[in-house]
Structure 1
Amino acid sequence: MSKQIINGIFAGLVAGLLIAMSSRSEPSEPSSQTSQTKQAKDIYQKYRHSLQMIKSKQASLLEEIKQARTEFTKDAHANPGVLLDLMKSASTETINLALRHASKGTGTILRLKDVPDPGQPAQPGTKGLLSLDTPPSQLEQLIGPHNNFLPGYFLEVGARMLNPVARVTFVRSHVVTLPDGQSTTFAPTDGWGTGFLVSRTLFLTNNHVIPTKEFAKKVGVWFNFQVDAKGLPTTVDQFDCDPDSFFHTNVALDFTLIRLKPKAAASAASVPSGTPSTNPLVSAGEIWGIVPINNSPDFILSQAVNIIQHPKGGFKQVAIQENELVAVYDNVIRYKSDTEPGSSGSPLFDNFWNLVGLHHASGDVEGDEFVDNEGIRIDRIVDDLRKVHGETDAGRAILAELGL
């Protein structure tokens, strides 16, 4: 294409000269009264013949220029790479001349100053380049059916919600027998699941993570088990479970609410935000904050379901992409958010960081692959807590502690 354009350029130059030549008046027939030699007549006839040939060639050249201009304009819009080819094979003056000729047509074409530096070619997938004549309304557009804008406080609030989420960690050895009869031994400090604070001392996770009071005595809760921006592990802050103080579990809804023991303030990790407690004993929530319980969440298909979790019992991770809600049922919701073993007990948030559920399992299967994950609706957990604890003073105190 670049050779055709360059040929068109020179054709245009020739055509311009020919147009200038054709603008001169044609000589008249010599007077019969003027004596003419045969040689003069021959010269005159040759000149007329040459002029006719030039006019014919001029029309052909102009048509070629028009065709080259059309093809150049079309290719430049469809494939910006043609501009880069030009820059590699022609001088700046030649390119400018070509663009001036091409821009005389009906199409809009880029000027040289609009073309990327040839040292930085357009990336694969580039469909076209905008000219300076592009209307401002077309410079930025929403892409796709959904508005992906998030409020400026999204990251600020998300960072606060990160702190109350913790890893459930073994503090004593535990042997797990699998359905096939094989057994696996978990050692102290091994990860087991995820959970989060919903009050200063109450910790929410799955029933299959902490099923009984006896099991709760084998595990502790590790806050701040994560890496910092430099990739270095941060200081872990462990709190022990206190099932004898409060323990509520529901197998059908797969959740457990358990109290954590306060500990000496001197042994607690530094406060990530706020003022350290002056009390001799400090609760986990005083240091790490809480995830407020939302007793009336909204569920809208395709809304985001963000998860803060400890997949595979490892460092804390977040899932905030490709995480749309795909189904809503009486007790559970299904979503595309990524999880792994160890994520059980993680909080589920919408894009305003409202708590909407408790992750507990994988969901539907197509072939050999899971296509979504499943969580317990937080409003169903609230319903169960109110039903069980709403009739006694001690129970109502628990509900008040949860803000219910």
Structure 2
Amino acid sequence: MKTFDRFIEQIEKTKQRFQLHSGEDLGAVKTIIHPKQVHNYLKAHNLKVTELINDRQLRERVIKGDDTLDVNYLEKGTIAAKSVCRIHINDAQGDEGFGTGFLIAPQILITNNHVLPTLAYATYSFAEFNYENGTDDLPLPSKLFRFNSSKMFYTNEELDYTIVWVEDRSTDGLGFLDEFNYLKLNPNLGKTKEGNYVSIIQHPDGRIKKVAIRQNEITNLSLPKFIRYVTDTKSGSSGAPVFNDKWEVVSVHHAGIPRYNIDGKILNLAGEIWDKSQGEVQVDWLENEGVRVSSIVYDMTTVAAHTYPFLLNYFKPLTDLEDIRRSMGISIADLENETYYPKSQDVEQQQRYYSNLEDPEHASVNELHALLELTHTAAPKYNPSKYLYLNVDLHPDGQLKSIYSNKDFTTQELILADQKIDIDRQLQFIELVKNEKTLGLSAFNEAVEKLESAMPYNCEHVICQSWFKKQEPMRGDLHHLFACESSCNSFRNDFPYHEFPAYQPELTPLDDKEQSACGYVQDELFEPEHNKGIVARAVFYFLVRYPGVIKIYKPKEIEILKNWAAQQPVTLYEKHRNHEISLIQGNRNPFIDFPELIQSINFNV
């Protein structure tokens, strides 16, 4: 499919995002009045409310707003423009046209899916920076850069965006990509409002770089994933950044909104039905549409980052659940249908996994143990930064949460914290080496063990490592590993789970010396503050997968854990974990798939 056809296809998709009404003027821009802004204007200009009421001309001037901007607005725009490039769209058969793109991180470029829809297009296409006129109105020397799709290529057809890796040196070997700036993407909502103005830096029709700054008004912010605005663009503008007055990117331009007749047919400038043979210039355009930056960042951090985890070094996930709802048009309850947890895919996987059991919902301990052991085909070594933090332990909002305190962390935060712990351990080991005191093998091993226990990772083993002498595959088994700040990790120590009748989590502490935000400790026993059902199901997995390895929990404690599991139903977070862990190490936690098994199984056998 050629570029223009893909562009028209995107236009057709925009029609599905609103209900056509006969005779509706879709081009009308409504004036949005914010009383607080009017109040601020009056205060700034030393005007009284009575003057606003009595002077109609003053009222119209105030409502229209103050179009003046600081003079540095122009200089900031020039800096922002450096990251914008013209994309030469090629496939194996040759030239297909042009698009616009821009850098959003070092060597990461974004454009539309209909500009670079496949790996093949990225292989044959290239980016041209500096294709613009200088202050003397003469063309500047431009630089061509190839894409490296083997390093990174990700595309989302629904959101109509593609990100691709750009080589750091130009095709002639004389230019470097870091000569051109990149535009940081702010994932938060609220960067613009209806009635506010936007600017677009673009390569319309593939021509020299232009900027549209006049009469560019936001017309619709009610759509999830997309925003609409009035401005001048052409087909070559696809993939251009749409800026607010602070030169923050609010969306990636991707399509125009044409005028339709009552039958839903696109109209031309003469008011007649348009067809492709007339070309884009004859379409009666009403407004334009861009893809929200917040939606793009959400997709990059929850989907693309699974394949390219280094994206999390540059893009901060959306963490506010209400922002996710507004930006993506989904409720948190509906996240099961999203990529966080592919429900239909996981159900099929479950059916295959338990297909050799006669009745999985009433399986015996021996049947489950045989299945878990047989399917445990990969045994990753204990490395939470590599296997746990990046994806497995993420919650629906893209954050990590401490299993005991529910404290939020970003992936990068815990990875860096664990790296610091590694450095501290190494420094302590160097001090140990400096001590020329002779140590026997057992004493040396004990000293090294103390280094690790004194400075634990931000990862909790639900079944404490000391109980199984840190042996693999138990130590690296992801089913009982959870993100947990090192202070909570140390607070729990290696104490078994217990329930204290007088302890009520999140209420008045029983004893400040014994309790933290993580839970309650007494007599070398520990009750978590949060997520008791989650840790209970992890314990039961371990008991069945590794029978006889630990002898900590007696029948009374088993009943406590069963009650915890019953009181906290299986969460979406656990389903996500179970699915992702099965992809890494092969086996599943049957007590997440069939929680009713817990009550029927004798874990003391």
Q: TM-score, normalised by structure 2?
A: 0.37
Q: Which amino acid counterpart does residue 293 of structure 1 have in structure 2?
A: L
Counterpart in the other structure of 1:360: 254
Query: 2:70 aligned with 1:151, yes or no?
Result: yes
Q: Secondary structure at the match of 1:342?
A: helix
Q: Secondary structure at the match of 1:362?
A: strand
Q: Secondary structure at the match of 1:304?
A: coil
Q: Secondary structure at the match of 2:105?
A: coil
Q: Secondary structure at the match of 1:263?
A: coil
Q: Secondary structure at the match of 1:363?
A: strand
Query: 2:200 aligned with 1:294, yes or no?
Result: no
Cα distance change on mapping 1:193 and 1:239 into 2, 3 Å:
same
Q: Secondary structure at the match of 1:231?
A: coil
Preserved CA contact (<8 Å) 2:201 2:242: yes
Q: Which amino acid counterpart does residue 243 of structure 2 have in structure 1?
A: F
Preserved CA contact (<8 Å) 2:89 2:121: no
Counterpart in the other structure of 1:378: 293
Q: Secondary structure at the match of 1:326?
A: strand
The alignment covers a number of residue pairs equal to 237
How far is 1:310 from its partner?
0.2
**Separation (CA, whole Å) in 2 of partners of 1:247 and 1:216:** 8
Q: Which amino acid counterpart does residue 153 of structure 1 have in structure 2?
A: N
**Unpaired runs of at least 5, structure 1:** 1-137, 176-184, 270-281
Task: Supply the RMSD in Å over aligned alpha carbons.
Answer: 2.5
Counterpart in the other structure of 1:233: 139
Deviations 1:351-372, CA, capped at 9 Å, x for gaps: 1111100000001415531110
**Separation (CA, whole Å) in 2 of partners of 1:252 and 1:265:** 32
Deviations 1:168-222, CA, capped at 9 Å, x for gaps: 01467746xxxxxxxxx64xxxx51000000110000000000011111111000
Preserved CA contact (<8 Å) 1:297 1:354: no
Cα distance change on mapping 1:197 and 1:149 into 2, 3 Å:
same
Flag the structure with higher helix content.
2
Q: Which amino acid counterpart does residue 397 of structure 1 have in structure 2?
A: F
Counterpart in the other structure of 2:219: 326
Which of these residues, 299, 306, 311, is aligned with residue 398 of structure 1? 311
Structure of larger gyration radius: 1
Cα distance change on mapping 1:161 and 1:326 into 2, 3 Å:
same
**Separation (CA, whole Å) in 2 of partners of 1:395 and 1:204:** 15
How far is 1:316 from its partner?
0.3
Q: Return the structure number with greater relative CO, CA threshold 8 A, min gap 6.
A: 1
How do residues 234-253 of structure 1 correspond to structure 2 at under 5 angstroms? 234-253=140-159
Preserved CA contact (<8 Å) 1:225 1:316: yes
Q: Secondary structure at the match of 1:216?
A: helix
Q: Secondary structure at the match of 1:198?
A: strand
Counterpart in the other structure of 1:57: none
How do residues 19-58 of structure 1 correspond to structure 2 at under 5 angstroms? none
Counterpart in the other structure of 1:268: 174
Deviations 1:56-114, CA, capped at 9 Å, x for gaps: xxxxxxxxxxxxxxxxxxxxxxxxxxxxxxxxxxxxxxxxxxxxxxxxxxxxxxxxxxx
How far is 1:263 from its partner?
1.9
Deviations 1:237-274, CA, capped at 9 Å, x for gaps: 111000110011000000000000122798334xxxxx
Q: TM-score, normalised by structure 1?
A: 0.55
Cα distance change on mapping 1:229 and 1:174 into 2, 3 Å:
farther
Deviations 1:255-298, CA, capped at 9 Å, x for gaps: 000000122798334xxxxxxxxxxxx4x2x1101011110142
Q: Which amino acid counterpart does residue 247 of structure 1 have in structure 2?
A: F
Preserved CA contact (<8 Å) 1:198 1:402: no
Cα distance change on mapping 1:234 and 1:395 into 2, 3 Å:
same
**Separation (CA, whole Å) in 1 of partners of 2:314 and 2:295:** 18
**Separation (CA, whole Å) in 2 of partners of 1:289 and 1:268:** 17
Preserved CA contact (<8 Å) 2:86 2:101: yes
**Separation (CA, whole Å) in 2 of partners of 1:171 and 1:250:** 19
